Structures are given as C-alpha cells and as structure tokens.
Structure 1
Amino acid sequence: MSKRILWKNAFQSITDSLGRFISIFLLMAVSAFTFIGLKMAGPDMRFTATNFYRQQQLADLTVTSNYGLDRADQKIILHTPGLKKADFGYFQDSTVNHSRTAIRVFSKTDGISKYQLVKGHLPTNNRQIAVSSLLANRYHIGQTITLNQHSSLKNTHFKVVGYVRSSEYIDRNDFGHTNISTGQLNGYALVNKAAFASPQWMIARLTFKKTAHLNPYSTAYQNYVDQRQRHLQAQLNHQRADKVQRLQQALQAQMMNQQVSSAQTAKSQSLQSAALPTSADKITYTVNDRSQNPGYEIYHSNVQRIDILANIFPVFMFFVAALVCLTTMTRFVEEERTNIGTLKSLGYSNLDVCQKFIVYGLTSSLLGVLFGAIFGYLFLPKMIFTAYGANSTLTGFTPLFNWVWLIVAAVVAVACTTLSALWTLSVDLKESPARLLLPKAPKSGSRILLERVKPLWNRLSFKHKITARNLFRYKPRMLMTIIGVAGCTGLLVMGFGISDSLKGISQQQYGNIIRYDLVIQQKDPLAAAQSARLKHLLTSDHVQRHTSIYWGQLHRKLGEDHAQQNINLIVPRDSHSFNDYLHLQNRSTKRPIKLTNNGVVISEKLAKLTDSKVGSRIRLQDSNGQWRSFKVAGITEMYMGHFLIMNQHEYRHYFKRPFTSNAQLVTLKHHQDLQSFSASAMASGAVLGINQNVNNQRTIENTMDSMNKVMVILIGLATLLAIVVIYNLTTINVLERMRELSTIKVLGFFDGEVTMYIYRETIILSLLGIILGYFIGAWLHHFIITTLPPTNAMFDPNLYLSNFLLSAFIPAAITLLLALLVYRRIKHVDMLEALQSVD
C-alpha cells in the first residue's frame, strides 16, 4: 500500500463515518463560537465606545457652578496640572414650542466633547439650531422652533438645520434633571456660542495630556482623573469667599453706572439681597468626571457583565464538548483495531498507522474551530452589542481580532480529538499485529452493588436486570453521558434562572417595595406664597397621599472597582404611615421591618458590600465629608440603589441636629397625571427638583431587557450543545453494541423492544445527568447572580420550579426524539452483516 493509498484511506474515513465527523465538527464549532464570541464581546464593546469617545474628544472633567464661572474661576481651571485643553461654554434649559418637552441647549464646543453630525449641518449663525437625533421624529430640518426659556439667549426662535449625537449622552432615555417643565430633560440641542448673551461662562470642559494614552475604562485612568478632580475641586472651593466679594462689587458697579430713580434703586437693592449668596457656602462648584454622563456608567457596567459571563459560560461549555469529543475519538480508535493490525502486519510504521487519526482529528476539530471562530469574531459580539445598543446611542460597532482565543480554542480542540486518539492508539501500537487482528474481547459482566440488595433485585424483571448490569459494564460511557447531560442541563438552569432573576425586578422594586410615584425636593427657605402653592398642589384631587421626609445622601467607595456609591438617606416625619410609601421587609422571611430607636435600616446590597449584619455598625460619609457610624437594626429587600432609613429619634442622635423635612414622597391617584403634576409642581416655584420613579423604572427595564436578550442567546447555544452531545453519545452507544443488538434481534425481540433494550440505559443516564445538572446549574446561577449585577444593584437570587422544569424538558425532549432515530437505525440494521463483522 503506497503513501497515496494511506492518504486516500485517511480521507475516506471521513466519508465512511460522516455522522461522527459532523458531530465533532459541530461540538467544536458551537464551543468555539461561544468561547471566542463571548471573550471578544467585552473588548469589542469597550473599543467601540473608546473609539467614539476619542473621535469626539470626550471631556475628562466638567465644571459647573450655581453662580457661573468668571475670569478668576477660568484662571484656576486653566492652571490645573497636566491640563491639555479647556473649553468654556454655555447652556440653557428650555421648553420647546410651549410644550412640556424640555431640552438643554448647549453652545458649540471647541474640540472637546464634540457633536457627531447625523444629518444636515451644524449651526452657522445665531438663529440656527441642531437638535439631538433622538428628537428627529418631533422636529424636522427646516422647521422653526420657539424656546420659551431664553434668559441667556439672544433669540427665541431658531431654525432646525441638523441632527447631532453627543458623546456626553450615551443613554437613549436618560438626559438628567432640570428645574423647568416636569423636572426631567427630554433631549439636548446645539447653537453657536455667539447665540448666548451671558456675562459668565456656565460650563468648562477639560482634557488632560496623560489620559490621551490611557484606556478610559482602566483603573489607571480613573485614579489619575480622580486626583485631578479632587485637586480642582479643592482649588475652586478655596476661593468661594473671594467670589462673593467679586459678585457684590460687580452688582454695585452696575448700580452706580445706571441712572435710576429712588424707587428703582430700592428695587435693585432688594434684587441684590435676593440674588447674591449670603455666605461662601451658598456658592457651589461641581466637578464631575465622565461617570456622571447619562449612560456612561451603565454601558461600562454592561460590558463588565459580559466579561463575567465570558469567564464562566463558554469555559464550562467547552469542557463538556471536549469530554464528548474525547469519548468519540477513543471509540473511533477501537473500531479501527483490525485495520491497525493489518497495516502493522504489512510493515507500515507507527506514524503511517497514526496518519488516518491525525487527519481525521485535525480536520474535524480545526474546521469546527475555524467555522465557529469566524462567526464568533464577527456575529456573536455584534448580537450582544445590538442587545445592549437598544438603550444606547453608540453606533459604529467595530469587531476586533485576537489570536489568543483562537489559539486556545484550537489547542483545546486538537488535544481532545487528535491527541486523545493518539494516546489511545499508543496502547494498541504496543500489541503484536496478530493480537490486533483478533476481535477485542467483550467486557465481561460482573456482580453489581444492586444485586446485594436482595429484596429489590429479586423483584426486578430480566430486562431491568440486564439494564442495571449494562450501566456499570460500560462505565466510561456511563460517566460521559451523565456528565454531558449534566453540563448541558446546568447551563440551561443557569440561563433560565438568570432570565427569571431579571424579569420581576422592576415590578418588585416599583410595585411592591417603592410605592410612591415621585420625590419632590423643596427649596430652602420657602417663601409664604411658594409654600401655599405647594400645599395646595399636594392636597389636590390628583394626589392619593403624600408625606414629608428628610432626603439626603451619604457616600462610600465600595465594590471591586472601589467606585464612589451614593446612599439615599430617608427620614420620614411619620414613621407609622411610612410603610405606605416604602415597604420595608426581610427578603427571605418576608417579615416587615419597623423603624425603631435602636438603629437604622439599610438595603440588602449595601449590607453585602459592607459585610454588615443586624447589630453591627456601618460607616458612611456625609455630604460634608464627615464619617458617621450607624448601628444596623434591619436589612430590607431592595434591588436598585442603596438606601439608609431611620426615624426622627435616630436622626437627631446620629446627626446632632433637629429634624427638618426638605422633600415630599407623593403617590398619585392616576399614573397618567404624573407629567402634568410634575409640571405644576415645578411651576409652583417651591420645588428644587423632581425624581420620577417612572424614569428609574424605565432604566431598570431597559437594562434587564438587554441582559435577557443575551441570556436567550446563551440558552439557545446551550440547547444546541445538548442536541449535539446527546446525539453523539447515543450514536456511539448504538454503534458500539451493534452486534449485541443484532443478537437479541435474531432471538426474536421486536424493533421496539430492541430499541428500549439499549435506550432504557440512555433514559436512566439522562435522568441522572439532569439531576446532577440541577446542582451544577444552581451553583453557576448563584455564582453569576452575585457577581453579575453592578455595585448599586442586586438581582433576585432565587431559583424557581419553572427553571428546573424547563431545563429538564429540553434534554428530556432531545433524548426522546433521538429515540426515534435509534428505532429507525435498529429497524434497518443488517443483522447478518453485524454478526459477521468480526469473523
């Protein structure tokens, strides 16, 4: 036999056992697709965002002040160490065309936080405006719109000339808060700087030299920006008293230059006392990093979730596929025992004998990896980006290529196919050709442990005894079937479990736990007229109930990324009726938690992050930077955000000051009244800001919906793996025992009985695999559900009966459907050929 014949024989083995070849190909393709696709999804999403930020030169820091930014502020900002560039601009919040649509109108930037043109052109004169591309369905190019609030603008009417996309607004639904209309912004727009008439800058955007070379999602970037942020905040705070004097001098000079009557002078003096801050504390500077941009942190958090899934799901999936491939190739070598003996007897070398298995293993595994990798690099990351992109304005997805994951997948595939075949083959090559030409002795039966349980064993029928003995007779196949089915079932339990853990969070959070519709933050102090208007509004027919509270914030750096977390501090005026607004209860026992004089109640995720338990103490930082220690009296169920709740007694005890309310929790009679009620509240002049739960709920639902789409993809992949695994193991079982099946068929067994003779074992092993898979899935679910959520959220950690039933149904249905395939194969088997196959 020539070398050419050996090559022909090697490739002919592929067509002769095409089913096995396709099984290995599919196992490797599905595994490589999942492994490479998930491993690349996170880096691809990061690169897409980073590329967009760099193209638009997104600011590292932004500075705003409630009294604007004057030349002294500008000087401090321009002397920030490491500064690359600073851009000073304006903005004005306004409603459009006398509607409730509130937008923030920015001035065009000079090279920092640039606006991406989507359609049309940018403003070229002071009467033109470009609006957010998300508002394209409301305002068409060429339309003239009216800005109702225009105190800082020279004009009130603007012609829409284009649609833009801002790098400062990544979320499609969240644009921040405002003090007009309903208190919620609906979008943004862009005009020329010369369109503003303000004497002071309103916003400064800064970029630094060092950050241009840093990954914006890296710890090094965040640490550097944090340092610059703290330094600039301290510098600006240091000169607040000087700014009060500058403002007073500017107003006095303005008054002296005007020729006014005594009445007008009195009016101007009254305006001065109302407008200027009475102390330096009234002037505030806000220095924000990128994390305050709507959608920036949510997108980053989504990418981190994908990274977590990529470290668990595909690795486990690859492990299951590898074990099945190892079993398949081992069986292939055993089938070729006689041919191996023939080649050795003809004088061929061990390398010549191995050639068929090397070709078969490399071709099936590497083709599978290559096919899976192509789709893994190009399609799965884009599918995941699209799932999350439904709530993001980011576009221009850019797939990357990384040799590492392709090499890892190829090495694992070759090890499980080619190397495993050569390892099995090495045992046969040590035997003489004469022994190899003889059929391998069948596995001998032996007594099993079940036989020692006489009362049970004696009650089993003959066929059930055969099944029991055969299960232990073929131990490797038994273990592979159990592990294969368990692995697939575990992945399904995890997938369905996470999907269910996401579904009910929004309803639980904003239906059962948080029962108010909005938080109204009141101005301090309130004029008598403002207080009267607010009181009239709260007692109107629209309001079902309301209660006074103190609303504040505490802070602490928590989580693996050590990011600053905001903790909502709530102190109700009436602790007895507070349960009507915020239902405090233990998640596990469902027992209600009352506010007592023995400590504070904290949300569950905050307790986990700080390792707090009932009776322990938790340290948090107040708005003045002072650390305070609170005793934990209860831990309440909460899924989004951090909360700390106490009664008035505990507030006086911990803060050493009397209780005063500064906000209202409001529950409306009809949810459709929310926007009109919010608009009326803002119009009263008594409201500093409004936080609508509907916005928070929409953000949660969008995030959960995106994650759920990803879980559907993973469930589909786990199902595909289950089909290939169970098919492969079933096929191996039938082929390996064809002579045995032919024998009992010759003895008069019907086709259905012959099928059940062998398939009864498959059903039992599948059931055992499903049960084991439950434990694997529960562990995977627990691990992922505790590491997947962002630092300020938690998911429902419970697994439900439906998760287990669905996860069992899929492998059970696949097993039963494959029984039909086995039945057809047994029905058409050539008994004589099978019995003579080793003669």
Structure 2
Amino acid sequence: MKNNVYLKSSFRDIKASLGRFISIILIILMGVLLFVGIKSVGPDLEATGNQFIQQKQLSDLQIISTGGLTQKDRALVKQLKYARVELGYSFPYLDKANQKDIQVYSLGQKQNHLTPTKGRLPKKSSEIVVDQKLASKKLKLGSTLKINNQQLKRHNYKIVGFVQSPLYIDNDERGVTTIGDGQVDGFAYLPKAAFKTQAYSLISVRFSDLDKMNAFSTAYQTKLNKKTDQLRSLFAKRAQSRKVELQATANRSIAKNEQKLQNQQTTLTAANTQLNQQLAALTSANQQQSTAGRQIQAQQATLAGQQKQLTAAKQKLTAAKTKSANLAKPSYLLNDRQTNPGFAEFQSLANRIDAIANIFPVFFFFIAILITFTSMTRMVEEKRKEIGTLKALGYRNSEIAVKYILYAFLAAFTGVVLGVLIGAKLLPVVVFTILKARYIFTDYPLHFYFTPIVLATIAALIATLGSSLGTLLRDLREKPAELLVAKAPKVGKRILLERITPLWSRFSFNQKITYRNLFRYKSRMILTILGIAGCTGLMLAGFGLKDSISAPVEKQFSEIMHYDLVVTLNAKTNAAQPNAAQTVLKKSNAVKHTLPVFSEQVTFKKTNTTDQNANLFVTSNAKKFAQYVTLKPAGKSPVKLTNQGAVISQHLAELYHINPGDHLTMQLANGKSVRLRVSQIGANYIGHNVYMTAKYYKQVTATSSVANTYLVKTNQHSLEQLTKNLHKVKSVIGTTSVKGQIDQQNKTTASLNSVVLIFIVLSGTLAFVVLYNLTNINISERMRELSTIKVLGFFDNEVTMYIVRENIILTLFGTLFGFGVGNALTWAILKLASSDTIVFPLIIHGTSYVIAGLMTFVFSAIVLIATHFNLKHIDMLAALKAND
C-alpha cells in the first residue's frame, strides 16, 4: 500500500511539472534523433547502393581496348578466380535528326540489367530501347530511330521502350564523348544480334567473391585493386599477341585486296592492249576518224580513268601495308564503377554525410546532454524537503531513490525510443526524398545501426539517471533535519565592477542588481553562456557548411582557372603548329585567346601513401600561362613557374607531406616514373594539378613536350556551336567545358545542402528548447527572490525585466562565444568532409553570422514573452512562507 501511494505520487510529480518533463524528453529526443539519424544516412545510402548493385548485377570492372576485344581476351579474364565475364558492343553516335549524342550499347544478359520505365525490352534485332531522359515528341514509343554505323546490320530501329541503366545512376549526368558537343545526352541499347562486327567493344567483369562485400568499403576497393593489377599484368602480355592478330587480319585483307587489284590490273591491261590493236588496225586503214575509231578512243579514255582509280587504290593499299607494319600495341583500359557517370559523386556524398555525422550530431548531443543533466539535477534539488520528510518517516534510501530514478528513466526511455524511431526511420527518408530527383534508385532501405543507438542510449541514461543518482547520493547522506531546511542562498560578494568606482557609480540601481546577480551565480552564468553558445555555434556551423560546400567551385573556376574551354588533340597533332582545330578556333567569334600546352594524366606514388592522380600542364610560355592559371595559395603572393622545379597543388603536398625543395615520384601516362623536384606549392580546390615549364619537363623526362591541348578563353558566348565545329575535326579527341564542370560540382554540393538545412532547422529547435529550459531553471532557483521584489512593490513588467536584463547580457555573450564555436565546428567538419580530390575552404559569409545571431535573439525573446506570463502568476505566499 505504502509503495503504491508513493508510486502514484511519482506520476503526480510528472503531471505537476509536465513542462519540464516534456522539455527533457524533447532535448533527449532531438539529440538522439540527429545523432542516430545522421549516423544512419551514410550507411543507408551505402546499403541503397549495395542493394542496387546486387539487383542490377552491376559490373565491378569494364575493360575496353583500342584494338577491340575477342574471345581470347575473355578467356584471359576468366583465368582470374571468381570472374564472371560478358562481352559486349558499344560506340558513340551523333543523331543529327534530333541533335543528340547517344552512347549505343549491346543488351547484356547477365550483367548491368536495365529497368524499363515505359514499354518493354527488345525482343527482335530491329528493336531498340532508349534512355528515359531522351523521351520527346520525336523520340517516343513506336517511333523509329535511325543509326548509321558500320557496326550494325541495319539502320532503322523501332523504339519499344524507355529504360534506366545501372551504368548511369545520376538522372542528369551522362558523361563525355568524342563526338558532337562532347557531352553524352543519353544512351540506347540494341540486341547483340543487331551487330555485325566480329571484334567486341567492351568486357564486363563481375567477381562473385566480392558480391557480399560493401561496395563502398576500403576492403572492397583493396581487393578489387589487387584483381585489377592482376588483369593489367595479363593484358600487358596480351598486347603484343593482339597486335600480331590485328596485323595478320589486316595483312589478310591487304593480300585479298592486292589480289583483287592485280586481277583488275590484268583485265585492264588486256583491255587496253586489245583497244590499241584495234586502233592500230584502223590507223593502217586510214579510218581512225571513223565512228569505230572514236568509240575506241572513248573506251581508252574510260580505261585511263579506271587506271587512275586503280593507281589510287594501290597507293591506299601501300599506305595500309605501312600502317599495318607500324601498328602500335593496343592499350587496354580497366575502368571500375568510379568511372561510371554519377557513381563517384554518390559515394562521395555518402562519405561526406558520414564525415559530418562524426562531429555535428556529437556536438549537438553534447549540448542536449549538458542541459538535461542540469535540469535533472535541479529537479532533485527542488525535492530536498520531500526527501527529508520521507527519510524522517522511515523510508529507506533505495525506496526514496526509486521515484527519481523512475522519473529519469521514463524521460530517457521516451526520448531515446522516439529519437531512435524518428532518427532511423524518418530523418533518412527526408534526405532520400530530396535525393530521389537526382538518382534512379527507387528503393532506399532503412536499417537500425547498433553502435549509434547504444551510444545514444548510454549518453541519455548518463544525462538523466546519472545526474539524478549523483545528486541523490549526495542528498541522501544528509540527515532529515538538514534536508528539511532549505539551503541558504549564496552569500553576496563585491564583484570586480564595484571596485571600478567611476564606472560603477554611473550604473542605475537595476543595472547594479543585474551585474551582481550575474557574478553571484557564476555556475548558472557559465552554463547559460555555454548552452546559448553551443546552440548558436550549431546554427552557424550549419550556415557555414552551406557557404563552404559551394566555395570550392567558385574559388577553383574564378580565382585559379581563367579559361572556359579545354580542347584536347590526338598525339599526332602539334597544337603549337598550324592545324585544323586552330583554324576553327581562330574563325570563331566566341574565342578571345588560346594557349597551346602539353597536358596528360599522371600518377604520384609514395610508400605508405595512397596513389594520387593529377593533371599535368606543361607550358613553354610561363608568363602567358599565368594569365590562364593563377597559382596563388590563400593569403600569399602568386607563385611563378621556373625551370628549377614543378608547382604542385596544396592538397597534394599535404597528402604527401611535401615542402618546397622536396622530391616526389611521378608516373607518366606511358608508365615511366620520373623524380620530380617541387619548387613551389600552389592553391587548388578540386582535383590535383601539376605545372612545369617545357624546359624542366625535358630535364626530368629526357623527352620534349609536344603541345596537345588548347586552353581557350571565350567571350562568355554559348560554346555549343564551337564545340560541335571542333568535334568535326579529326584531330580533336575531346573538349571540356568549364561551365559543365561547374554545373556538375554544383549538383554534387546541392545534395549536401539539403542535409545541412536539416541541421539548421534542428539546431534552431534545440536552441529554443535549451533557452526555455535554462530560463525555467533560472526562475525556479530564484522563486523566493522574485517573490520578494514583487512584495516590495515591483510591477509585473519590472519583475520580468529583472530577468530579461540578465538574459540579454548572457545571450549576447553566448552568441559571440557561439560564433567562435561555430567556426571551430565548421572547420572540424570540413576537415573530415574533404576528400583526396576536393578541399572545402572555411568560408562563413557575414549574413550567416547575422542570421544565426538573430535566430538566437528571436528564440530568446519568445521564451521571455512566455516567461513574463509565468512570472505574473507567481504564488508569493507559498514561496516566502517559513520553512520551519
């Protein structure tokens, strides 16, 4: 009976202080929600990708070759254990009728399964399915798509469906090509029966032993890299035999054509001899001007034309022989999923969200725990008289403690359960809903992750049960008589400001009270400042992330790169010499200036450090090159190219711990490794770049650099027509628009902005709850003091201002301190979010400080308005009555 009554009193206490109970639940809920929720988003994204890869049987690798692929290449790949191999066709096609650059593929059976969004998959060799992105009035179900290509048996195909391909997970990104304007607009798939060529275009490889591995994990990438290295080694040996095969095929064709030409020449010679004989007979009879003679002369003219064509054909055959004799070894390219359009960005998004989740929610949760700890401690302190009464009535310490443990447990349990459910099942859904417009994933699996849930639960229990037990253990050691007497208020002391007489004498009475109270209760002042600073810092960090995430694009393409287009030529063309591409650039009104440079992909290697790919730029005119690229680290003077070494990007130097004067090993595109001296370090935010003069390049590589690239400055006109004209030139193998790169990077950062917005909203909500809780604690601790000044004749507004003045000062200092916390928090998150290929500089705009500060003061004002109505209804008699 006794215990039942005591238990009922516990629930009455909850009902009596329902506002505080709910506020504790809300604080724990938001802390757990954000911690568990954001820690779940990254793994859920990876789970989505893994599930998609399994469902669509997405290839681990795709192999392409400049010499085509055969069954022998397939057999070579099959030598690797667990390898599942599928041969296929692929080629780029410019659809002039619809002005679209289309990548055409053969339909696979075992890998890279398509998802029809409308219609069905092809059943006949005359049917085709098209990228859903290409659907239009011209390209619709039942319409005909014309593809003129020598690899196909026919030219017209009926569109029977629109599909999504697992090779293109990003709805907007389709990659680059060497035709049209250089950007792929979409893809199409045909049955293999529609192709007539013997050599295949690509090999899709999937390893069964990697199926159950997380495709985004380091372990998976390490294992795949080992298999890739094995394949590279096999194909390095295969290149020579494939060259011999190509030469043999070419020589057979040449021999066949040579025999054909020889037969034609024999026939032509015989016909010519016969005509000469006929003409000689007519000449002896003086009838060369007769009708028969004119006919013979006409036939001789025809034979002369045929002889001319035959001679040209022989010359082509001779050139073909020379080409066959000088045929280079074919190269084999092994591309993993990272090269698929949009895949690397998706993985990067998951990694960055995971990196952000390691700092932002943890700090958020820390603030929530701090306030919860304080609230629970204060609640137990308020019940000192009740604890003393129960001890005097004979209740055991354990029986007394149950009531407060139950209160703390119910608050923690409710907050944790709701936080876990909303965090794991709702917050990721909000993020995925935002991302659905960008990616083709239709199903986002949601999971509960053990580690963050356990950590959140332990932290919540420490904040509630831990604080309650700590205070109870201290109070239960006291005697009932001591507990029944209220604690004496803190002794007033002279504060530092009072010792500055000229300043103190100018303060009003109310101001003096405010400053005395602030310094009298230092712990409360520190707690309030910390709470407000934490919330302001969280909001500012949210805005700072939004500002900083978009900064690399702006800085890279406005402060560093000052060109608009990159035109890449084939190895046989010297950009420094007159050529067809140069002619097109000179004739275009959109082009202002061009600079020929040598450019290629290089790899940096160092023991115990991950290999890094970089773009190498070599110029013979360092002064002019400075007008196209500014090599300027943040806050430093511009870096100049010299013949004493190379300039590498700042992030590359940090990864390899390189300082000016150090050396680094660089592997060229042809596989040759050279020792590079780093003369200076330049700024770079996206990717890695290396710059050097032509003279230094020749010094370290022992070869001269032949310009193969144009850096182009334009008049900001549309480059569509210019790129189309350039792609018509045979020597141009590709164009890269800086605007296209900017758009792609902006799409990637836009995905993170949605997550950051969630941070800002939750941080603002936490700020409001924290301010409300701290203000209530402040009032409850000073109920006798506030009642006293009301009894002394203070009006309601004056009593409110008694609290408001203190809160304004604490909010001001907390906000200013919060700006520093926000900067440190943003810096830490950006450090973790930055990857090997992108650097996020710390950028927080002035408007972000203003908005974060205003939000803090607005929440404070709302809380104080609510406080005003509470203070109007203070029970002065109950607060001031004697305790004995």
Distance 2:529 2:582 in 1: 68
Select 1:294's aligned residue among 341, 345, 349: 341
Q: Deviations over 1:421-466 (max 9, x none)?
A: 1221222222333332333322222344444445544544443333
Q: 1:597 is matched with which residue?
A: 643
Pick one of 626, 629, 638 that aligns with 1:579.
626
**1:606: which partner in 2?**
652
Q: 2:28 aligned with 1:28, yes or no? A: yes
User: Please, which of 390, 400, 415 is the counterpart of residue 368 of structure 1?
Assistant: 415
Distance 2:40 2:222 in 1: 26
Counterpart in 2 of 1:714? 759
Deviation at 1:342, TM superposition (A): 2.5
- Residue 171 of structure 1: SS of its match in structure 2? coil
The one of 802, 812, 820 equivalent to 1:767 is: 812
2:545 aligned with 1:498, yes or no? yes
Amino acid in the other structure paired with 1:32: V
* Among candidates 690, 715, 723, match of residue 735 of structure 2: 690
Shift in alpha-carbon separation, 1:532–1:326, aligned structure 2, 3 A = closer
Distance 1:518 1:787, change over 3 A: same
Question: Residues of 2 paired with 1:743 and 1:628: CA distance?
Answer: 84
How big is each residue's C-alpha offset from its partner over 1:246-277, in whole Å with a ceiling of 9 and x where there is no partner?
22222232344464434286266156247647
Secondary structure of 1:92 counterpart: strand
Q: What one-letter code is carried by the residue in structure 2 that aligns with 1:46? A: E
The amino acid of 2:405's aligned partner reads I
Cα deviation for residue 52 of structure 1 reads 0.5
Aligned residue for 1:203, secondary structure, equals: strand
One-letter amino acid matched to 2:819:
Y
Q: 1:662 aligns with which of 708, 714, 727?
A: 708
Alignment partner of 1:436 is 2:483: yes
CA contact (8 A) 1:95 1:149 kept: no
Superposition deviation, residue 526 in structure 1? 4.2
The residue type paired with residue 231 of structure 1 is Q
Matches within 5 A, 1:204-283: 204-257=203-256, 259-260=260-261, 261-262=264-265, 263=310, 266=314, 269-270=317-318, 272-273=320-321, 276=324, 278-281=326-329, 283=330
Displacement after TM superposition at 1:178 (Å): 1.9
**Aligned with 2:517 (options 456, 470, 474):** 470
Task: Supply the distance in 2 between the matched residues of 1:580 and 1:158 (Cα, whole angstroms).
Answer: 50
1:378 correspondence with 2:425: yes
- The reply to whether residue 7 of structure 1 matches residue 7 of structure 2 is yes
Distance in 1, Cα, partners of 2:324 & 2:255: 17
- The aligned counterpart of 2:665 is 619
> For the Cα contact (< 8 Å) 1:131–1:162, is it kept in 2?
yes
Cα contact 1:547–1:573 (8 A) shared by 2 = no
Deviation at 1:787, TM superposition (A): 2.2
SS at match of 2:681: strand
Secondary structure of residue in 2 paired with 1:213: coil
Q: Which residue of 2 aligns with 1:777?
A: 822
Equivalent positions of 1:488-527 (< 5 A) are: 488-526=535-573
Whether the 8 Å contact between 2:493 and 2:520 is mirrored in structure 1 is yes
The CA deviation at 1:141 is 4.2
Q: Does 1:648 align with 2:647?
A: no
Query: Structure 1 residues 504, 373: closer, same or farther in 2, change over 3 A?
Result: same
- Aligned equivalent of 1:356, options 380, 403, 416: 403
1:149-160 superposed matches below 5 A? 149-160=148-159
Contact 2:648 2:689 in 1 (8 A): yes
Distance 1:550 1:138 in 2: 44
Q: Is the 8 A contact 2:667 2:673 kept in 1?
A: yes
Which residue of structure 1 aligns with residue 270 of structure 2? none
CA distance in 2, matches of 1:130, 1:411: 54
User: Matched residue of 1:546: which SS?
Assistant: strand
Q: Is the 8 A contact 1:13 1:356 kept in 2?
A: no
Report if the CA contact (8 A) 1:93-1:149 is conserved: no
Q: Structure 1 612/233 Cα, relative in aligned 2: closer, same or farther at 3 Å?
A: same
Compared CA separation, residues 447 and 558, structure 1 to 2 (3 A): farther
Q: CA deviation at 1:563?
A: 5.0
Q: Please say if residues 174 and 695 of structure 1, whose CA atoms lie closer than 8 Å, have aligned partners that are also in contact.
A: no
The residue type paired with residue 639 of structure 1 is Y
TM normalised by structure 1 equals: 0.94
Task: Quote how far apart the aligned CAs of 1:550 are.
Answer: 0.7
Matched AA of 1:54: Q
The code of the aligned residue for 1:548 comes to P
Change (3 A) 1:438 1:244: closer
Contact 1:6-1:352 at 8 Å conserved across structures: no
Is the 8 Å Cα contact of residues 539 and 822 (structure 2) preserved in structure 1?
yes
Contact 2:385–2:484 under 8 Å retained in 1: yes
* 1:68 aligned partner: 68
SS in 2 for 1:577: helix
Superposition deviation, residue 581 in structure 1: 2.3
Q: Is the CA contact 2:551–2:840 (under 8 Å) kept in the aligned structure 1?
A: no
Aligned to 1:740: 785
CA distance in 1, matches of 2:642, 2:470: 70
Alpha-carbon distance in structure 1 between the residues aligned to 2:605 and 2:112: 28
2:744 maps to what in 1? 699
For 1:578-625, what per-residue CA distance to the aligned partner results, in whole angstroms no more than 9, with x for missing partners? 233223323213x33332223222222222222233333333221233
Q: Distance in 2 between matches of 1:731 and 1:788?
A: 38
Secondary structure of the corresponding residue to residue 118 of structure 2 = strand
Equivalent pair of 2:605/2:666 in contact (CA under 8 Å): no
Deviation at 1:199, TM superposition (A): 1.3
Cα deviation, 1:177-219, whole Å, max 9, x if unaligned, reads 2221112211211110011111111111112232123222222
Aligned match of 2:600: 552
What's the counterpart of residue 803 of structure 1? 848
- For 1:545, what is the secondary structure of its paired residue? strand
Structure 2 match to 1:183: 182
- Structure 1, residues 551-586: CA drift from partner, whole Å, max 9, x if none? 1121126899x6543211112343322233223323
User: Which shifted more, 761-770 or 374-383?
Assistant: 761-770
User: What SS does structure 2 have at the residue aligned with 1:239?
Assistant: helix
Partner amino acid, structure 1, of 2:597: I
Deviation of the 1:62 alpha carbon: 1.4
Q: Distance in 2 between matches of 1:277 and 1:727?
A: 85
Q: How far apart, CA to CA, are the structure 2 residues paired with 1:145 and 1:180? A: 22
| Cα separation, partners in 2 of 1:531 and 1:170, compared to 1, 3 Å | farther
Matched AA of 1:604: Q
In structure 2, the CA distance between the partners of 1:254 and 1:660, relative to structure 1 (3 Å rule), is closer
> In structure 2, what is the Cα distance between the partners aligned to 1:815 and 1:504?
32
Provide structure 1 residue ranges, at least 5 long, that are not aligned to the other structure: none
1:100 matched to 2:99? The reply is yes
In 1, Cα distance between equivalents of 2:168 and 2:323: 32
Assess if the C-alpha contact under 8 Å between 2:574 and 2:708 holds in 1: no
Please name the residue that 1:398 is paired with: 445
Distance 1:92-1:624 versus aligned 2 partners, 3 A rule: closer
How far apart in 2 are the matches of 1:837 and 1:510?
74
Partner of 1:83: 82
Distance 1:139 1:27 in 2: 57
- The one-letter code sitting in structure 2 at the alignment partner of 1:713 is I
Instruction: Say if 1:518 and 1:690, in contact at 8 Å, map to a contact too.
Output: yes
1:26-75 CA-to-partner distances (Å, cap 9, x unmatched) read 10111111011011111111000001001111112211111101233233
Q: Residue 521 of structure 1 aligns to a residue in which SS?
A: strand
Question: Could you say if the C-alpha distance between residues 441 and 558 of structure 1 is closer, same or farther in structure 2, counting changes exceeding 3 Å?
Answer: farther
Q: Which amino acid aligns with 1:292?
A: T
